[in-house]
Amino acid sequence: MQKPSDTNQCHDITVYSAIGLAAGACSGNGILLDIKDPVHPKRVDAVNDPNYSYWHSASFSNDGKKVVFTDEWGGGLGARCRANDPNKWGADAIFHLKDNKLTFASYYKMPAAQGDSENCVAHNGSLIPVPGRDIEVQAWYQGGISVMDFTDAEHPVEIAYFDRGPIDPKMLVLGGDWSAYWYNGHIYASEIARGLDIFELTPSEHLTQNEIDAAKAVRVTELNVQNQEKIEWPRTLVVAKAYVDQLERSQGLPSDQITALRNAIQSAESSHMNKASVAKLKDFAPSLDEIAYVTKNAADAARLRALAQILKQPAL
């Protein structure tokens, strides 16, 4: 086991101006800063972990209710994703964030074991703007990239991956994906040994084409991951379809309502949003708001409310 680093500097600080907070990964621990007055930032909380070697970077969830810290164990130079390596080493630590206090929720480490010749540890990533979910793509050096859903902070799960394989199966050579960032519909990963990897998400049991298309509907003119921008989704029917898919997956709505919603959305699309089809969409909104009010699943409640808002005033 490697001794945790001393806190003598902050490796990365991610600012989230929309909520007035910044998260710093500071060698020996993670810190939370109040930056509402940027000239006079204040440290409001700090966390540490004996399983962490080097607190490297941080990301907020879009709603600002979670923070993901990474541990760059060994500076990214060692093989830390082997089958015999604990899943707490060189991993993510996910924290709940409430009232300016961080509370540990769980660890996440890419699940595919890597070999002795593959340097592998959690490294740089960014959010993928799938509405209704907290999803981050991350680089893991020769482990490739892993797409993590941390909507349920206590039970993060991998929903997509790319494993690049060892550069040399007999000896460790520094290489692999150093960073992986989502930008306007694709994932761009800087690969130390061969240059740039560009990826496109494909649908699976964990991610539908509607969810991918909704993520692609978010467009930005520039990206600076450490200056995290709040994601806003357009009020389009493709975003509505993503919410419907999620509510079907979670069983947040009965199957007959899922079918009725899909039929109404399809009718509105095929009719190019004529008055009758739009009126039918609006009719769904009150019942969705009512269900959101009583549902015990916080993620589903948020999806139901967001879906209702789109249906009240949809755009094609």
Q: Which of 2.130.10.10, 2.40.30.10, 3.30.450.20, 1.10.3720.10 would CATH assign to domain 12-216?
A: 2.130.10.10
What residue ranges do the domains of the chain occupy? Answer: 12-216, 237-312
| CA atoms of 193 and 175, how far apart (whole Å) | 5
Give this prediction's pTM.
Answer: 0.94
One digit per residue, the tens of pLDDT, for the chain of length 316 reads 555 656 677 888 999 999 999 999 988 899 999 999 999 999 999 999 988 888 999 999 999 999 999 998 877 788 999 999 999 989 999 999 999 999 999 999 999 999 999 999 999 999 999 999 999 999 999 999 999 999 999 999 999 999 988 999 999 999 999 999 999 999 999 999 989 999 999 999 999 999 999 999 999 999 999 999 999 999 999 999 999 999 999 999 999 999 999 999 999 999 988 999 999 999 999 999 999 999 999 999 999 999 999 999 998 6
Choose among 212, 220, 93: nearest CA to 160: 212
- Put residue 225 in one of left, alpha, beta given phi > 0 → left and psi -120 to 50 → alpha: alpha
* Three-state DSSP string of 252-289: CCCHHHHHHHHHHHHHHHHCCCCHHHHHHHHHHHHHHH
Q: How far is CA 223 from the centre of its chain?
A: 15
Helix (H, G, I), strand (E, B) or coil at 105: strand
